[in-house]
Amino acid sequence: MENQNYFSGLVGGIKTLVTGLKTTMREFWTPKITERYPENRKEHKMFERFRGQLILPHNELNQHKCVGCGVCQNVCPNDTIIIETQMVEDENGRKKKILANHIYDHGKCMYCMLCVINCPHNALDFDNEFEYAVFDRTKLVKHLNHPGSICQPKK
The CATH number for 82's domain is 3.30.70.3270
Q: Are residues 118 and 71 in the same domain?
A: yes
The pLDDT of residue 80 is above 90? yes
Percent of the chain with pLDDT over 70: 99
Q: Are strands 95-105 and 141-143 parallel, antiparallel or unpaired?
A: antiparallel
CB 126 within 8 A of CB 53: yes
Q: Are residues 8 and 59 in the same domain?
A: no
CB 142 within 8 A of CB 121: no
Report d(CA 153, CA 17) in Å as an integer.
Answer: 72
What does the pLDDT look like over 87-101, one tens digit per residue? 988 888 888 888 999
> What three-state secondary structure class fits 79?
coil
Q: What is the pTM of this model?
A: 0.70
Q: What is the mean pLDDT of residues 56-79?
A: 94
pLDDT confidence tier of residue 1, bands split at 50, 70 and 90: low
Q: Which of 88, 90, 84 is nearest to 145 (CA)?
A: 84
Q: What is the mean pLDDT of residues 72-99?
A: 91
pLDDT of 2 reads 74
Q: Which domain holds residue 22?
A: 1-33
Q: Which of 137, 122, 113, 136 is nearest to 50 (CA)?
A: 113
